[in-house]
Structure formats: structure tokens, C-alpha cells
Structure 1
Amino acid sequence: MSAEVHVSAVVVVADRRALVVRKHGASVFQQPGGKPDPGESALDAAVREVAEETGIRADPRSFVSLGRFTDAAANEPGHVVVADAYLLRVDEVFAEASAEIAELRWLAEDEVEHTPLAPLSRNHLIRHAWA
């Protein structure tokens, strides 16, 4: 049985583009997010991780719950990621890679097919950007 990794993940959308990030040492992109700190709610972790990884600071009330999704963990072999996912629509498209982020991209819907994405992103989350 695979070990579970619990995270918060955020589909950030601006101008019909979805923000994806690639962490240092990773070969695939994924939604901004990460593991909650001890005692931290999934939403609080989502707000914090987006700010830390991209510089986007948003009101927690702007995050819309998409539900909980499970898939193979991209960066932890043999693990399953369980993500509490949120949608965040922002007006401004400025973001910069920080913390453990090596690169970020704003993807249009027609770029998704040719972008290396983590299973959770490709199979569950990215489509919510254009729903």
C-alpha cells in the first residue's frame, strides 16, 4: 500500500491562463501548493503556499473549494498525493518564482497537452481553470 501525502493545491487563473510551477529538482509542473504545517487548515496552507511560491497574496475568501483529489505523487515515488484543491481567480498576472520554485508558467488551454504536468494536475486540477 502506498503512503499518502496530504497537500493543498491551488488552480490560479488570470486572463484565461492557469499558473503552474516546477519545483527545484522536479521535471514536471503542478499547481502551486504544498503540505499544511501542523495545526494549519487546508485553506490556510493554500493561501500561505501560493504567497510563498508565487508572491500572489490573496484574501482567503477568494479561494473556492474544488474538493479533494487523489493521484500518484509526482515528486515522491511510491506515494499517493491527496489534495484539498481550490480555485483562485486573480486580476493581475504578475507572479514570480520563489521559495522552492525553479520555474513558473502561465498556460493557455491549448498548451496543456504539450506541457509536462504532474498526474494530479493533468488528471484532475488543470481543467478547472477553464470550466
Structure 2
Amino acid sequence: MDTATIKIVAALISDETGRVLLVRKRGTRTFMQPGGKRDSGEDDIAALSREIAEELGCGIVPASIRPLGEFNAVAANEPGFFVQASLYRIDVTGEITPNQEIDEAIWIDPAAPPDVDLAPLTRDHVLPLAVATTSAANVD
């Protein structure tokens, strides 16, 4: 990918009712998945663990980590850029408390999102995937 692509790791976190956790970064209006850029030398899981700890003040349950794929979308907060996201379904341990650059965290029904600004990655890829995997889980 070219320099106009930001490579990130992102988390799909659901609660027991199937709601999905979204965050809004300070100074923005757009809700998105928790996660972010890898630091030099970090693999996906190390980066995601660090980002979740920094942004939400909690940890990842290692046995819960499930890769969901790589997805591309227009970047929500960086005009002219795209994101290439490695998406993981995870469970977290500890209390979720927005920290550092996160101003707000909300739980939404992925099948009926509220009227808020959603990042293209979240709107076009993550929420449909959350609906599909929740529906599949309910069939079992």
C-alpha cells in the first residue's frame, strides 16, 4: 500500500447482548473501533494490547483473540488517507474507562446503530460483520 494508507489494528468487542463497543477520540465526532497504529517492532497482538490498555484502561483476555481479517476503508479523521485494518474479535478484562485520547465510549446495537457519525471502517465492515457473527452464534 502507498503512503496514503495508515496500517492499524482494531478490536471488535461485544457484550453478552451482542452490542459493540465504539470509541470517539478527543476533538472528533466520529465513533470507531478501539485500536491504533503499531509501534516499531510490535506485532498485531502486542499493538492491540497496548492500545486497549491505553485507550480503555483494561486488558485483553488472551484466549479470546480471534482474527477476523484485513479491511480497507477511507480514514475517518485523516482527510486524503485510507486505513488498512487488521481486525480482531476480543474480550476484555477489567473496567472499561476511556483514557488518553478517548473522550467517549458507547455500546451500540450493530443491527440498529444510533444516529451518530460512524467511521467508514466501522459502518461498512465491522458492524455488518458483528451482525453476521452474532446471527450465526444465535443459530447454534
Match for 1:8: what amino acid? Answer: V
1:115 CA drift (Å): 2.7
Verify: 1:7 aligned to 2:8, yes or no: yes
User: What is the deviation of 1:39?
Assistant: 0.4
CA distance in 2, matches of 1:108, 1:30: 14
Aligned equivalents of 1:34 and 1:14: distance in 2? Answer: 21
Letter in 1 for 2:5: E
Unaligned runs of 5+ in 1: none
Q: Distance in 1 between matches of 2:31 and 2:5?
A: 20
Runs of 5+ in structure 2 lacking a partner? 134-140
Partner of 2:41: 39
TM-score after normalising by structure 1:
0.89
Shift of 1:128: 2.9
Aligned partner of 2:28 in structure 1 is 26
AA matched with 2:108: L
Aligned pairs for 1:1-131 (under 5 A) are 3-15=4-16, 16-90=18-92, 94-112=95-113, 114-130=115-131, 131=133
- Contact conserved, 2:23 with 2:32, CA < 8 A, in 1? yes
Q: If the length of structure 2 is used for normalisation, what is the TM-score?
A: 0.84
Offset of 1:102 from its aligned partner?
0.6
Residue range with higher mean Cα deviation, 108-117 or 59-68: 108-117
| Alpha-carbon shift at residue 111 of structure 1 (Å) | 4.0
The residue matched to 1:114 in structure 2 has which SS? Answer: coil
Shift of 1:58: 1.5
Q: Tell me by how many angstroms 1:91 deviates.
A: 7.7
Report the 3-state secondary structure (helix = DSSP H, G, I; strand = E; otherwise coil) of the residue aligned with 2:13. Answer: strand
Computing the radius of gyration over CA atoms, which structure comes out larger, 1 or 2? Answer: 2
1:47, distance to aligned residue in structure 2 (A): 1.6
Amino acid at match of 2:57: G
What is the aligned partner in structure 1 of residue 138 from structure 2? none
Q: Which structure exhibits the higher relative contact order, with contacts defined as CA atoms closer than 8 Å and separated by 6 or more residues?
A: 1
CA RMSD in angstroms, aligned pairs only: 1.9
- What is the CA distance between 1:25 and its match in structure 2? 1.2
Deviation of the 1:61 alpha carbon: 3.4
- Runs of 4 or more above 4 Å deviation: none
Which amino acid is the alignment partner of residue 74 of structure 1?
Answer: A
Report the 3-state secondary structure (helix = DSSP H, G, I; strand = E; otherwise coil) of the residue aligned with 2:107.
strand
